[in-house]
Structure 1
Amino acid sequence: MRYISTRGGIEPISFKQAVMMGLARDGGLLLPERLPSIDRTKLESWRNLPYQYLAREVLELFIDDIDRLDLEVLVENSYASFRHPQVTPIRKVGDLFILELFHGPTLAFKDVALQLLGNLFEYQLKESGSFMNIIGATSGDTGSAAIYGVRGKKGINIFILHPHGRTSRIQALQMTTVLDENVFNIAIRGTFDDGQAIVKELFGDLEFKDQYHLGAINSINWARVLAQVVYYVYAYIKLWRNGMDSVDFSVPTGNFGDIFAGYVAKHLLPEGCINRLILATNENDILSRFVNQGDYSKSTVRPTFSPSMDIQIASNFERYLYYLRGEDPEQVRRDMETFARDGRLDFSGLRDQVARDFVSRRVSEEETIETIADVHREHGYLLDPHTAVGVRAARELGGERPVVCLATAHPAKFGDAVKKAIGTEPELPPPLADLESRESRCEILDADTEKVRNFIREHALRG
């Protein structure tokens, strides 16, 4: 399997090269030359596999340059720290199925991908005898999951940018209380989009990128998306074993990465297994406007109870755009240049095509809190606000098929939202219980690329 850029400016590369490159050198995002698919016979052979074994089978469809036994060890090590034996279990809650993705070390779905990516980085650096400096921006959960994925690993320093004062208190503490020598937290005076723009600008400086061996942990790294494909397949098989041949998925998303993994899974499985992908956004609704109106345009980021979705430029949208544009990299490049210049793209003429892939619902702050309260009262199950966005969209847009709602974080990470909904804060699980008492370390900087660049220069690993 070879990997190409959405903008067509690089020669095809291997999976291992794609992992280390992160953002393509032409500014595009990496994708496999073709999306693999399986038949019913192969699906039947996966029917009873535990999560780790299924993960290896799915990953091998996209990876041909890592030994099978090595890949098996990487997968086993990546999910050994998860607190549930099924890694991503499913719970029946009323008429919906909740896919719990928060049983990893930081209690967020990002652990599923970033535990694997951290081990992939370590594996390849050991193989090459090299080093890397990871740079990433987070709206909340990616940062802590990335930090926990690489903390203490030799040959890696990690620099995480988060918007100062715009994450939940627990999200910030999960990052800043990790004091390993290779971990550097930077709180920028701005939004997630400001941080992501800085990261992309640094990766676009090829001399700087090469000198400091920059690596990407945001969902611009293809390995992140690939790891997430697995839990869609796992969830489908679990329901299929119980007589459900076709299912819908409801996905709360701001950056388009998680739902793009669902798009890949839909194409991977036999036709009809995954029927609809319900794209749920909060009031930062660039993606809902794209699906429902063909309007992909930047707006002001509004702080919400679901801060990990407080995004107005979706980093993974370009991957879907590649397929929407008929796999035409020149058109994608022109589109992204137009968006960078004008801050908007008009896809109103492609709405029918988009509707074959997604339906979407924007969920307000009031609806988010109301949904947490309703589900808790009716079923005794507690949702975090991001998951509540997905559940609300599923209740509005779900049809006759079973709907799987992705639960992207543990509710205890968002105590303020939960308290507003049910009157009390959730009990903190052990990984969060003593965060407030831990020592914290963080650098606060303006949202200025040169200031961040200089900080990285000062603390980066060098050859």
Structure 2
Amino acid sequence: MPSVTYSSTRGGQTNLAFRDVVMQGLAHDRGLFVPDRLPTVSTTELESWRSLSYAELAVNVIAKFVGDDQVPLPNLRDIVTRSCAAFRDAQVTPLVHVGGHYVLELFHGPTFAFKDVALQMLGNFFEYFLSTGSNGGRLAVLGATSGDTGSAAIAGLRGKKGITCVILFPNGRVSAIQERQMTTVPDENVHCVAIDGTFDDCQDIVKASFNTPAFRDKVHLGAVNSINWCRVLAQTTYYYWSYLRVTDAHKDIPEVHFSVPTGNFGDVLAGYYAKQMGLPVGKLIVATNENDILHRFFTAGEYHRESIAETISPSMDICVSSNFERYLFHLAGNDASMLSAWMQAFEKTGQLTIQGDLLRQAQADFDSCRGDTSQTLATIETYHQKHQYVLCPHSAVGVYAIHQLSLVSSATVCLATAHEAKFPAAVAQVVEPMPPPPTELAVLRDLPTRRVELPNDLATVQAFVEECVFSRPRKWQAVAKHLAAVTVAVGVAAVALQAMTRRR
């Protein structure tokens, strides 16, 4: 069977190949690519996957979408196998039983966060496509991170031929370890930029860059954020993996519930697609912190943008969830014109409201729960004291949700999205003494860092990206000096860059 094709949620691009949507990232009409059809997995086929390793399972799941016309099976197997080899646990995403339910540990990759699962694969897909003729062998990746995406993207792209990687993060709004994971990487193709603003500001710059055709085409722009379909596809595997492991141990469980700490909606969306393909999934719980736009949508039908609250779970400090557009497209009956009208109204007013049958359908697809900082800390403390298990402040939000929704059972899996050592300041409030951090994180304290500070300004960021792509400077001081000259009209940018140079 030929590979699945993809179209934009807003209707401007249709029937694109997998290679094209991976390399392009965001659709040219500002929509997101969604599959034109969803393959199915029969009960018999699912049962035949029980004995497979994680890597073998991933090959089978991804091959449902990607045929030999896009990536020949031997190459696909190589991409997936090398991606999984980067993980410290042979099971890649091991499942543990804690407190009467399961925890899916997604933090055994290079940067101790769930995003490694997808970004190791995305990096290797990029490398394969560039080596076989895409973009003339060159790609400029511009990404935004609220904490974990940046380091995971860098780990997947560092040193790769033909790729320039520029990661934007909100200055002072990621944890110290998250920042060091990004800024201590010495590879010359990696550039870390602290933006004077929030994650949503960083995300807006990325989206606006994709919607600037002259810039986009000049640098051959690509995306690593979960707007890139490849990331969502890669994440579907661990829903199959955890379902099979739960039902290995409990053969009487007919379906498995999943609680997912949620920011940009990509992780839980992967579970939604797995369920639509036939995986016996029960509840899909959207677990949010105080930045609860998604919880408000699923309880009252109100997707209303509000200001971002800084919390102890910074990777979820998001007030507009990029991947949510994909779900809204399906909620609109795969009607691109309806979805486009919704998004245009939302972009203008900051509000989207649904009622009636649409709200009831959304509530049938997802449950939701909001856990604030005090509830998150109480959950971390309880699990440490009662179960000798330490949760990160994001994972704890998902665990809190299943207690609130009375879904604590062996049929429930909570996704643990990061290692607790990435958030020591938060966890140490209720865990004493803190477990020693993994060596890979402990050594970051003594490594030199390098980063650029830029204002929340699209033109300045785009000028910086062009400098990185075309000049390939070996010294960051040279980058700062040259960029300050070419953006002299932007006074704030010049001040920030000169300050960076002085610190170096």
| TM-score, scaled to structure 2 | 0.90
1:7 to 10, 14, 17: 10
2:372 to 364, 370, 378: 364
The question of 1:284 aligning with 2:306 is answered no
Q: Secondary structure at the match of 1:368?
A: helix
Equivalent residues of 1:248, 1:274 under 8 A apart:
yes
2:273 to 246, 264, 274: 264
Percent identical: 50
Q: Secondary structure at the match of 1:394?
A: helix
* Aligned amino acid, residue 370 of structure 2: R
Q: Secondary structure at the match of 1:259?
A: helix
* Aligned amino acid, residue 420 of structure 1: Q
The question of 1:322 aligning with 2:325 is answered no
Alignment-derived partner of residue 389 in structure 1: 397
Alignment-derived partner of residue 440 in structure 1: 449
Equivalent residues of 2:102, 2:410 under 8 A apart:
no
| Length, aligned pairs only | 461
Instruction: Provide the C-alpha distance between the structure 1 equivalents of 2:164 and 2:248, rounded to a whole number of angstroms.
Output: 43
* Aligned amino acid, residue 372 of structure 1: I
Equivalent residues of 1:247, 1:404 under 8 A apart:
yes
Alignment-derived partner of residue 100 in structure 2: 95
Alignment-derived partner of residue 498 in structure 2: none
Paired residues for 1:291-310 under 5 Å = 291-310=298-317
Alignment-derived partner of residue 42 in structure 1: 45
The question of 1:20 aligning with 2:51 is answered no
- Segments of 5+ residues of structure 2 without an aligned counterpart are 473-504
Alignment-derived partner of residue 56 in structure 1: 59
| TM-score, scaled to structure 1 | 0.98
* Aligned amino acid, residue 72 of structure 1: R
TM-fit CA distance, 1:348:
2.8
Equivalent residues of 2:118, 2:235 under 8 A apart:
yes
Equivalent residues of 1:415, 1:426 under 8 A apart:
no
Instruction: Provide the C-alpha distance between the structure 1 equivalents of 2:12 and 2:373, rounded to a whole number of angstroms.
Output: 42
Per chain length, whose mean CA-contact separation is higher, i.e. which structure has more relative contact order (CA < 8 Å, sep 6+)? 1
* Aligned amino acid, residue 387 of structure 1: S
Alignment-derived partner of residue 450 in structure 1: 459
Instruction: Provide the C-alpha distance between the structure 2 equivalents of 1:387 and 1:147, rounded to a whole number of angstroms.
Output: 23
Equivalent residues of 1:419, 1:426 under 8 A apart:
no
- Segments of 5+ residues of structure 1 without an aligned counterpart are none
TM-fit CA distance, 1:438:
0.4
C-alpha distance after superposition, 1:61-91 (max 9, x if no partner): 1112110010000001001110000000000
Instruction: Provide the C-alpha distance between the structure 2 equivalents of 1:216 and 1:423, rounded to a whole number of angstroms.
Output: 40
Instruction: Provide the C-alpha distance between the structure 1 equivalents of 2:435 and 2:192, rounded to a whole number of angstroms.
Output: 27
Paired residues for 1:247-262 under 5 Å = 247-262=256-271
Alignment-derived partner of residue 501 in structure 2: none
Instruction: Provide the C-alpha distance between the structure 2 equivalents of 1:300 and 1:425, rounded to a whole number of angstroms.
Output: 33
Equivalent residues of 2:246, 2:410 under 8 A apart:
no
Alignment-derived partner of residue 427 in structure 1: 436
TM-fit CA distance, 1:176:
0.5
TM-fit CA distance, 1:461:
4.2
Alignment-derived partner of residue 207 in structure 2: 200
Instruction: Provide the C-alpha distance between the structure 1 equivalents of 2:183 and 2:471, rounded to a whole number of angstroms.
Output: 24
Equivalent residues of 2:454, 2:460 under 8 A apart:
yes
* Aligned amino acid, residue 270 of structure 2: A
Q: Which runs of 4 or more aligned residues in structure 1 lie more than 6 Å from their structure 2 counterparts after TM superposition? A: none
